[in-house]
């Protein structure tokens, strides 16, 4: 549970950096950042595996590059869910800014996981 919270904070930092450096991304307020981070974790756990399986042929044809589009769609899904709860402080204008947002979040999460630790499973000997 602690690792999930720390990873969600890392994703929130990624959203914050994306809001400052990616044109077309506007996220205001720390509550919105945390809500977006938690919702992205839930979307990546529930929706993304199904979407990845459905888009497997095009993912193979593009040598995995289509997964950037799938990740961008997850960021847009988070925006749609937040908008349904009348939170208008999260705005991403289009798929391309969403893809760049996923790249920023990926880099921040990569650095964060170096400090937090990954999902290493103990090997049985």
Lowest-confidence range among 59-63, 95-99, 111-115? Answer: 111-115
Q: Which residues contact 68 (CB under 8 A, 6 or more apart)?
A: 99, 102, 103
In the predicted model, is pLDDT for residue 87 greater than 90? no
What's the confidence (pLDDT) of residue 119? 59
- 3-state helix, strand, coil split of the chain in percent (to 5) is 75, 5, 20
What tokens does 109 get? 């999460």
pLDDT cut 90: percent of the chain above it: 71
pLDDT digits (tens, 9 = 90+) for 9-66: 999 999 999 999 999 999 988 999 999 999 999 999 999 999 999 999 999 999 999 9
What's the confidence (pLDDT) of residue 58? 95
What tokens does 63 get? 């040598």
What tokens does 108 get? 């921040």
Average confidence (pLDDT) over 109-118: 85
DSSP calls for 1-21: -HHHHHHHHHHHHHHHHHHHH
Length of the chain: 125
Nearest to 87 by CA among 32, 41, 9: 32
């Amino acid at each position: 549970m602690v690792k999930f919270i720390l990873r969600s904070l890392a994703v929130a930092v990624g959203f914050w950096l994306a809001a400052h450096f990616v044109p077309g991304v506007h996220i205001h307020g720390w509550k919105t950042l945390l809500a977006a981070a938690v919702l992205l974790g839930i979307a990546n756990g529930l929706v993304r595996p199904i979407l990845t399986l459905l888009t497997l042929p095009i993912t193979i044809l593009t040598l995995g590059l289509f997964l950037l589009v799938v990740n961008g769609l997850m960021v847009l899904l988070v925006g749609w869910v937040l908008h349904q709860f009348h939170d208008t402080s999260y705005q991403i204008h289009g798929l391309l800014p969403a893809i760049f947002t996923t790249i920023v979040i990926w880099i921040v999460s990569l650095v964060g996981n170096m400090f937090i630790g990954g999902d290493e499973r103990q090997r049985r000997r």
